[in-house]
Amino acid sequence: MFAIIVNPVSGGGKNAQIAKRIQEILGQRGEAYRLFETENEGDGDRQVRLALESGCESVICIGGDGTLSEIVHELIGSSSVLYIVPCGTGNDFARVLGLPKDPVEAFKAQLDGRRTTIDCGSINGRSFINVAGSGFDVEVLRKTEEFKQVYPGEQAYRKAVLAVLSSYKAFQTEMSIDGSEFKPYKGTIVEIANGCYIGGGMKVAPAAQLQDGLFDVVMVDCVPRMLIPFLLPLFILGVHVHLPIARVVKARDVVLRARGMVVNIDGRLEQMDEAHFEIRPSALDIMLPNK
């Protein structure tokens, strides 16, 4: 049986309409399903628990990367498989999987696709699926929340990047990788990547793999604000990792420490003084479109 997880008021009611289309498709195929509606932010994991307790073997997530990250924690370790219906601002993890942009077409592609197992990450014991980190992207996400009321999806991110340039300051933290001694780091961005995209299609970790049992830890050193607009196209394409200002390290365990640090977790912002990232190999079953 399929569980459909959706916030019916999200997207101005758009997600509820997409949920109806998903139900129609399942009905035409003779598939059994139940609808689980989230009531507010943070309710996704509770709805997934109810779905699993009800015997649902497949979970359909209708929403963006934040909703997806929210429900993944409950799915890890279960025998259920995840279907992704991308309806968010950036939909970066759907892009990692090569899903169609249209949410209904993305679902159809998975229905006719193949089941596979992928890695997930955890931060302080809480799971995430794509990318987490801190620095410049945190300020961009804060500003994006304002702009997405006016501009659609990826355009909101681009506008936010330009808006934060005048006030952005370098990110400072202490970092330990795979149990190494803590060392201070000052830079523009630090990302702990399971997937490769952030910010509506920026290829932050171009070599990241979902099935290698490792994070790609991407560090971009301090960059003068005036140069960021010129470097942004390289960042979008993933070429930045070949520049002297960037480093990529493969790791299983990463710790960042900084008082009052704000971390971007799959598009959600959370404040903490210490962030402990651990890879969870082969933790989640998902559906992929056939190549």
- Domain boundaries of the chain, sorted by first residue: 2-119+284-288, 131-281
pTM of the model: 0.90
Q: Look at strands 2-6 and 58-63 and give their pairing.
A: parallel
In degrees and rounded to multiples of 5, residue 271 shows phi and psi of -100, 140
The pLDDT mean for the chain works out to 90
Q: pLDDT value at position 153? A: 62
Q: pLDDT value at position 202? A: 87
Q: Contact at 8 Å (CB) between 61 and 240? A: no
Give the Cα separation of 120 and 45 in Å (integer): 16
Check whether 23 has a pLDDT greater than 90: yes
Same fold, 2-119+284-288 and 131-281: no
Q: Look at strands 81-86 and 58-63 and give their pairing.
A: parallel
- CATH number of the structural domain 2-119+284-288: 3.40.50.10330
- CATH number of the structural domain 131-281: 2.60.200.40
Query: pLDDT per residue over 95-127, tens digit each?
Result: 999 999 999 999 999 998 999 999 999 999 999
Q: Which residues pair with 268 in a beta bridge?
A: 265
